[in-house]
Amino acid sequence: MSKGKLSKEEKALLDAVEAGEFESVLTETRKMELKAIANNTFKKDKRINIRISNRDLTAIQSRASEEGIPYQTFVSSIIHKYISGSLQDLTANKQMQPTQNTRG
């Protein structure tokens, strides 16, 4: 494991973990629960159909290509990130600026 750019506290903790000074308290029951949760998180068992503009589809496909993933996976990732709160609409919280009347 790389030890670059760690604080003194982080380095001491990493050294202790690598030296075997910590023991896992994870039970087999809890481990199985966590595995089930992880499997359900990544299960894709529903299908949707949407209509979008050709321009948007082309942009999505381009961005997905840059990420190296299929565009359907990219769209699913965007939706998941948005509903889980890790992707936010930057324009949603902006206040409307009053327009100035330029006529005199």
Q: pLDDT tens digit string along 5-55?
A: 889 999 999 999 999 998 888 899 999 998 988 887 777 778 899 999 999
The token pair that represents 8 in the structure block: 């003194």
Which DSSP helix (H) or strand (E) runs through 65? helix 54-67
The token pair that represents 19 in the structure block: 């030296």
Report the range of poorest mean pLDDT among 8-22, 33-47, 66-80, 83-97.
83-97
Amino acid at the residue 5: K
Q: What is the pTM of this model?
A: 0.50
- What share of the chain has pLDDT > 70, as a percent? 85
pLDDT bracket for residue 59 (50, 70, 90) = very high
Sequence-distant (6+) residues with CB within 8 A of 22 are 16
Domain boundaries, the chain: 48-83
The token pair that represents 50 in the structure block: 């949407």
The token pair that represents 98 in the structure block: 């009053």
